[in-house]
A and B are shown apart, each in its own frame.
Chain A
Amino acid sequence: ETGVTQTPRHLVMGMTNKKSLKCEQHLGHNAMYWYKQSAKKPLELMFVYSLEERVENNSVPSRFSPECPNSSHLFLHLHTLQPEDSALYLCASSQDIRTDTQYFGPGTRLTVL
């Protein structure tokens, strides 16, 4: 247990669906991250939040919409996804964006049909 939880663990959705991924950290951290891991590819950083403010958006398509209502919760809202968006989506947190030890959740395995 890393102190970072993600729900759901598995999600299957159609291209016209709208769904949300949830991440919660119980570590008192101020920075949270979304990563994408496609099959046979390295992890890709998608978004970075510091104290609920988005500080980085790595050219992610607008069909992925993050939300950070407070420092403990992070959401990734999904709509009109493509099959190539199927991947493992990982959430992580760190004490702050300059503290380099990140703690990862177990991930959500997303399949887009």
Chain B
Amino acid sequence: DAKTTQPPSMDCAEGRAANLPCNHSTISGNEYVYWYRQIHSQGPQYIIHGLKNNETNEMASLIITEDRKSSTLILPHATLRDTAVYYCIVKAAGNKLTFGGGTRVLVKP
């Protein structure tokens, strides 16, 4: 599966949109982009995934560039409870879910 690169940390203001970048320049055509998050001392939580098209659900939006070499997870209105480590994972269907270091997001009042 392709390697991903995320900033180690970022701060966001409560109530504002949080834009989390992820680079995956070696992504293959059959690999999906997944986002999970892990709130302190809890298990990871699935957020969203996509292949080519942008996706939106009740938690977030996923914007994938046309060349698929990078993506952005958007939390539209960040709350203090969105403080967590966010993991961007690229993988083909059926392959293992491999977690990297992620981005530590701190939402500040």
A27 contacts chain B at the CB level, 8 A cutoff: no
B96 contacts chain A at the CB level, 8 A cutoff: yes
Chain B residues positioned under 8 Å from A106 (CB to CB): 42-43
B21 contacts chain A at the CB level, 8 A cutoff: no
- Kindly state the separation between the CA atoms of A71 and B52 in the bound complex, as whole angstroms: 33
Pick 18 A–B contacts, CB within 8 A, sort by A: A2-B45, A42-B100, A42-B101, A43-B99, A45-B97, A56-B96, A88-B41, A90-B43, A92-B44, A97-B94, A100-B34, A102-B46, A104-B43, A104-B45, A105-B43, A106-B43, A107-B41, A107-B43
Q: Are A102 and B99 in contact, with the CB atoms below 8 A?
A: no
- Given known A-B contacts A100-B32, A100-B34, A101-B49, A45 and B96 have beta carbons under 8 A apart: yes
Among A91, A102, A105: residue with most chain B CB under 10 A: A102
Q: Are B91 and A100 in contact, with the CB atoms below 8 A?
A: yes
Chain A residues positioned under 8 Å from B41 (CB to CB): 88, 107, 109
Nearest-Cβ distance from residue B109 to partner chain A, whole angstroms: 26
Number of residues in B with C-beta < 8 Å to the partner? Answer: 18
- Kindly state the separation between the CA atoms of A106 and B96 in the bound complex, as whole angstroms: 20
From B44, B46, B94, A43 is in contact (CB under 8 Å) with B44
- Which residues on A are within 8 Å of B, measured CB to CB? 2, 4, 42-43, 45, 56, 88, 90-92, 97-98, 100-107, 109
Question: Besides the contacts A2-B43, A42-B101, A101-B49, what 20 more A-B pairs have beta carbons closer than 8 Å?
Answer: A4-B43, A42-B98, A42-B100, A45-B96, A45-B98, A56-B96, A88-B41, A92-B43, A98-B93, A98-B94, A100-B32, A100-B34, A100-B94, A102-B44, A102-B97, A103-B46, A104-B43, A104-B45, A106-B43, A107-B43
In the A-B complex, the 4 residue pairs with the smallest Cβ-Cβ separation, listed nearest first, are: A104-B43, A43-B99, A98-B94, A42-B99
Q: Are B99 and A107 in contact, with the CB atoms below 8 A?
A: no
- Kindly state the separation between the CA atoms of A42 and B96 in the bound complex, as whole angstroms: 14
